[in-house]
């Protein structure tokens, strides 16, 4: 048994030594610095959106180096990702690995560098599921939850597997009190979009709404108690052009139930921009459907 523990300890140290040089400090908020990961040798850094609370006066602390200025390339609040760039051309990028094979119970490390040196905490994958839409409407290619302790400043840092490969980016902001890892496929998609366009597309209807309780007979028929009452429809908006009217109650979009505003926002992802979808509504006490082409939020 002592030999086994010693081997595990040595392997963990080796993993930190491999991944550590790819982990940087991100100075993008007033108090506690956070963590980022080197994406490419030419100075691209990926981190968590919620730890970059300003758009200027940003800094990145490289391993064994002073803090250097950074610029914000773009951010996507819906997946809690942000991309920074520093004027460096010889960085060592992280080794990214597909997280599709991760299963519940596997050992993982969370790394952070809120200070001068890399820090680590050990945990396990506590939940692994299929694609997941975040409460703010972002699409994650896989749901990954861990029990790693997210110490202050660890958000934006890597979730690391055996051999030092990065399996995802850690964040404590997508679900309150839960450590979520943004999987590699999602990180790659969002980073490439931000590098190309500076923003991630978001769907737009052009309505103001508030939750309302449905009449009992409709609630039983739809198997949901609430919908969204439209209290405003913008002129020339996708909703207006699609035929939605003030006083309509949205109960579903593209066959997905809509009970609260968060439900609607979650369904207006970038993948639906330009797509015509059925919107199920209650109008004059009757259930009906209208087709709306989702616009893009400016």
When computed from its CA atoms, the radius of gyration of the chain, rounded to whole angstroms, is 22
**By C-alpha distance, which of 259, 283, 268 is closest to 238?**
268
Q: Find residue 81's DSSP bridge partners.
A: 76
Q: Determine whether 80 is an active site residue.
A: yes
Q: Under the phi-then-psi rule, with left for phi > 0, alpha for psi from -120 to 50, and beta for the rest, what region is 121? A: beta
From 50, 78, 139, 165, active-site residue: 50
- Is residue 260 part of the annotated active site? The answer reads no
What residues contact residue 117 under an 8 Å CB cut-off, 6+ apart? none
Distances from the Cα of 233 to the Cα of 192, 193, 229, angstroms: 34, 30, 11
- The residue from 76, 80, 141, 263 that is catalytic is 80
Contact 94, 158 (CB under 8 A): yes
Q: What angle do CA 37, 41, 45 make, to 5 degrees?
A: 30
Tell me which of 76, 141, 155, 248 is the catalytic residue.
155
> Does the active-site annotation cover 237?
no
Distance CA 105, CA 283 (A): 49
Spatial distance between the Cα atoms of 92 and 99, rounded to a whole number of angstroms: 21
Q: Which bin fits 177, alpha (ψ -120 to 50), beta or left (φ > 0)?
A: left
Q: Are strands 203-204 and 295-296 parallel, antiparallel or unpaired?
A: antiparallel
Torsion sign, CA atoms 181, 185, 189, 192: positive
Angle at 134 between CA 262 and CA 294, to 5 degrees: 60
The residues assigned a catalytic role are: 50, 80, 155
């Amino acid at each position: 048994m002592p030999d086994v523990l010693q081997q595990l300890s040595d392997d963990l140290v080796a993993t930190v030594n491999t991944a550590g040089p790819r982990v940087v400090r991100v100075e993008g908020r007033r108090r506690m610095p956070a963590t980022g990961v080197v994406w490419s040798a030419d100075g691209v850094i990926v981190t968590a959106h919620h730890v970059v609370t300003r758009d200027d006066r940003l800094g990145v602390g490289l391993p064994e180096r002073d803090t250097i200025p950074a610029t914000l390339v773009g951010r996507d609040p819906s997946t809690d990702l942000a991309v920074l760039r520093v004027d460096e051309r010889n960085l060592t990028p992280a080794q990214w690995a597909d997280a599709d094979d991760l299963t519940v119970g596997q050992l993982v490390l969370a790394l952070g560098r809120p200070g001068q040196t890399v820090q680590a905490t050990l945990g396990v994958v506590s939940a692994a599921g299929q694609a997941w839409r975040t409460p703010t409407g972002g699409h994650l290619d896989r749901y990954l939850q861990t029990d790693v302790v997210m110490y202050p400043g660890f958000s934006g840092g890597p979730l690391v597997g055996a051999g030092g490969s990065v399996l995802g980016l850690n964040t404590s902001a997508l679900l309150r009190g839960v450590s979520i890892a943004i999987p590699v496929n999602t990180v790659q998609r969002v980073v490439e979009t931000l590098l190309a366009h500076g923003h991630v597309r978001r769907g737009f209807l052009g309505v103001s709404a508030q939750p309302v309780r449905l009449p009992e007979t409709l609630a039983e028929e739809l198997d949901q108690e609430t919908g969204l009452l439209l209290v405003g429809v913008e002129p020339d908006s996708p909703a207006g052009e699609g035929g939605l009217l003030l006083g309509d109650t949205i109960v579903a979009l593209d066959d997905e139930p809509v009970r609260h505003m968060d439900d609607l926002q979650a369904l207006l992802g970038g993948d639906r921009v330009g797509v015509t979808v059925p919107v199920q509504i209650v109008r004059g006490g009757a259930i009906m459907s209208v087709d709306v082409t989702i616009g893009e939020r400016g």
